[in-house]
Chain A
Amino acid sequence: MASRLARGAALALVLVAVCGGAGHAKDKKDESPAVKAARDFDTNPYPSTYRAYPGGPTALIGATVYDGLGGRIERGTVLIADGKVMALGGPDLAVPDGFTRIDAAGKFVTPGIIDIHSHLGVYPSPGVEANSDGNEATAPTTPEVWAEHSVWPQDPGFSRAMANGGITSLEILPGSANLMGGRSVVLKNVYSRTVQGMKFPGAPYGLKMACGENPKRVYGSKGRIPSTRMGNFAVDRATWIKAKEYRAKREAGKLETRDLGMETLAGVLDGSILVQNHCYRADEMALVLDMAKEFGYHVSAFHHAIEAYKIGDLLKASDTCAAIWSDWWGFKMEAYDAIPENAGLLYKAGACVVIHSDDENGIQRLNQEAAKAQGDARRVGVEIADAEVIRWLTINPAKALGIDKQTGSLEAGKMGDVVLWNGNPLSVYSRPEKVWVDGALMFDSANRKRRAVSDFELGQPGEGDVK
């Protein structure tokens, strides 16, 4: 609970930072201009220019509604107006005049789906070398790089994620070659000419970290540290020590030079930047949790977390989500102990489950991945209600990204991020029929012109085709 409070405080800090544009608020009159410059800089120099697109007041009537919080309403009505969820209720909820009424009987409604782990834009299609911008694999720690500076907003993958997966928000992460890969960015899944036009307003930054095979392989093969798991930890710890010194110097008013990497790490120590940690093995996750205690930060989520089921209790105690595939297995040594019951056993242990993709194809089917995990759980006696499973794709990733006050559930006042499915989203046979982002209809399977076509695809075979 303490850590949860700390996280709340962290969020408040983020909002201050984003709005005020200042790192710290200490006021010392005798400080040098250099000290001031190193402390009072713009923390949001590439601000979101995303604006919700127009959408009229809309009523979805008669659907089975999953609210993202574990609730389920039969023959429910969802009202969307002014870009927000206005109300949610049963058949008795009155639809005000002026609302476009959509008969959703026999269909399903969920909050917009959120993928906490995507490389769309940084490893876009076409996956040619010239477009490969996800790993700054030239040094084992690169907290100074920001994924948003690599995102190509014309990645055709964004449109597939929406049309087939109902994705309305997603976190774009640097790759896992590095122990500290850089800052991640949270996007609304809406095309724009610029990445700024996609940035989720007010979302905190993340720091991508990685343990295990990738960093030690990448740098070991270059004949440098880390070449082992102990090397991974040594480099991480040495870097955190520097970050603590940097932060202390800044707080003491003695810092005279900015350091982009250290600013990111200090942001983690401040609680304003959330750690998203690629990690497979249980023993390594347990060590990372101790490292986080050692330096005073919180791991928001372990990503991939193949062996999370072995340490559900530790993850629950540290309030750290496991963002996982349902059943990827065996492709590398640290994935050897993957089991399809990972989500089910974590759920049983009371830990936070998030289903993620890490894949431009998987992001189109997160709902199916969740359904697979649900089925595998059921077969070992862990029954999980459909409405609970939907949390794994909505409010849970929203929490782990620090955007749960804005999206991730169908609560009045939240962003109008809504998916109307043509059947139960936990069935292989179902697809999004319509998707709204901030109340604007951004995908409609019945209207070709409500299907986004990226610049890259214009004039190419299949432009505007069903995908």
Chain B
Amino acid sequence: MRAALLVAGTALAAVVSAAPTQAQDVAITNGRLVIGDGSGPLGNGTVLIRAGKVIAAGPAVVIPPGVKTIDAEGKWVTPGLVVAVTDLGLVDVGAVEDSNDSDADKSPFSAALDVSAAINPDDLPIQVSRAGGVTRAAVAPIGTSSIFGGQGAIIDLGADPNAVTVPRAFQYVELGETGARRAGGSRAATYAVLFNALTEARELTLAPAGPRRDDVLLTRRDAAALGAVVSGKQPLYVHVERASDIRMVLSLQRDFPLLKLIIVGAAEGWMVAGELARSGVPVLATPLTDLPNSFEQLGATQSNVGRMKAAGVKVSLGAFGDQPRYAPQYAGNLVGLAKVPGASGLSWGQAFAAISSGPAEALGMGDRFGSLRPGRAGDVVIWDGDPLEVSSGVVRVLIDGIEQPLGNHQTRLRERYSKPGEGALPKAYEW
């Protein structure tokens, strides 16, 4: 009982200290270092962080006097994971509608919706993902009554009130089967809606204060939001799976040359890998999809990412079901695939980059976070083994150089039920 109380006390302290103070100077020494830029693991190395940013990471880093050190004790030290397609911060429990802000299918607005207003930095999925080594995310609105989901935000997963790093970081549009359903029932309807919306947006950017045509379909707010997309100021996430849909998306740039496209999903991306590579459009692929679950992914194969990578596509990993903390497992599978005859996978370094610097670069944030190269945010994870291996776990997490609490509802339950049965008092008194 005493031990249980002590454990509980420690956890409480962790929760209380959850509001971090200020960006620190810290050096993490004696780690098996992963930079996250596509290179493989280095030997023993040090990461030096000052004012929350990486100054240097490598085998021969000199630690200035007075800098606090964390001894990684030979464990793996990596940049924090970046998950670029998620609903983190928008949902407590998916199936509890009142707690779920990922979808706004009854809103009169679509493209204008701004998820940064809805993000809750205290929500449990953020805490659990943080404990799984995820430090940055791009939160995507997935549904409205329109093909446009609204404007996503880039967040950090730090235990502080300031989750949003970049609000209105991208717009999200559903094409393919889902888009067709929302646009009126067919892909032809989808593209009509899309072309019209981008055209109305362009007209509004040319005459922001002037009167609009009398046959506009978009609200002024929605059209104004899409102005940032047509002018290339805001990237456009486009969810498509089918090869022909990917080709269609790539052709959008003929009519709207400033569009900054980011393709999400791309189950049949390998079938158009050459075109994707030539376009330079980044792809956030859903990894390991290998079943013809719909008629828009008949060609799905786990080798999709490996083949795209080999063809020169800027591909990294996107959605991981509802659990961003699965990212390393998915990446690890792609490494395993490289051993299977006839299959295409990734090297270890490529696979880790596909869940760190890759998605950061797709978001245009590669100089801000996603790797341990100098100047990036001091987001560091210490693992008790190979981070891509399923049996490994997270030991410590730093975001902007600040050590993060890893306790949450799950760890508290684990502590309570590590001792079976009830004691002198009910379990409810063990905390």
Contact = CB atoms under 8 A, between A and B. Distances in A.
Interface stretch (A59-67, A376-384, A391-399): A376-384
Contacts, number: 160
B343 A466 contact: yes
Contacts of B289: 361
Contact of B413 (A339, A427, A429): A339
B293 A339 contact: no
B120 interface: no
A228 interface: no
B176 to A, nearest CB: 14
A219 to B, nearest CB: 17
Contact of B94 (A330, A340, A361, A467): A330
B256 to A, nearest CB: 29
A377 B413 CA distance: 14
Interface in B327-353: 329, 332-333, 335-337, 339-343
Contact of A379 (B128, B332, B393): B393
Contacts of A348: 420
B291 A125 contact: yes
A428 B336 contact: yes
Contact of B341 (A335, A345, A365, A446): A446
A366 to B, nearest CB: 12
B44 to A, nearest CB: 23
Contacts of A445: 340-342
Contact of A461 (B268, B288, B294, B390): B268
A461 B301 CA distance: 10
Contacts of A310: 417
Interface string A427-449: 11111000000000000011010
Given A329-B410, A332-B96, A457-B292, A428 B332 contact: yes
Contacts of A422: 339-340
Interface in A283-330: 309-310, 312-313, 327-330
Contacts of A330: 92-94, 124-125, 128, 322
Interface of B: 92-96, 124-125, 128, 243, 268, 271, 288-295, 298-303, 322-323, 329, 332-333, 335-337, 339-343, 384-385, 388-393, 409-411, 413-414, 417-418, 420-421
Contact of B393 (A128, A375, A446): A375
B128 A329 contact: yes
A429 B391 contact: no
A462 B300 contact: yes
A127 interface: yes
Contact of A337 (B96, B337, B393, B413): B413
Contacts of B294: 126-128
A429 B332 contact: yes
B33 to A, nearest CB: 21
A371 B342 contact: no
Chain A interface bracket (under 10, 10 to 19, 20 to 34, 35 or more): 35 or more
A406 interface: no
Nearest to B323: A329
Contacts of A465: 299, 301, 303
B292 A456 contact: yes
B414 A341 contact: yes
Nearest to B413: A339
A231 to B, nearest CB: 19
Contacts of B414: 339, 341, 345, 380
A105 to B, nearest CB: 16
Contacts of A328: 323
A162 interface: no
B93 A374 contact: no
A37 to B, nearest CB: 44
Contacts of A125: 291-293
Contact of B298 (A164, A341, A431, A461): A461
Contacts of B384: 379
Interface string A325-353: 00111111101111111000100110000
Nearest to B385: A375
Interface string A228-270: 0000000000000000000000000000000000000000000
B330 to A, nearest CB: 9
A345 B271 contact: no
B292 A375 contact: no
Nearest to B289: A361
A375 B341 contact: no
Q: Which of B94, B343, B384, B390 has the most CB of A within 10 A?
A: B390
Nearest to A428: B332
B292 A466 contact: no
B291 A361 contact: yes
B299 A345 contact: no
A271 B247 CA distance: 58
Given A126-B294, A157-B291, A378 B125 contact: no
A-B pairs with lowest CB-CB distance, top 4 = A461-B299, A375-B391, A428-B332, A332-B95
Interface string A358-377: 00110011001001101110
B292 A345 contact: no
A428 B299 CA distance: 24
A348 B289 CA distance: 35
A275 B426 CA distance: 31
B417 A345 contact: yes
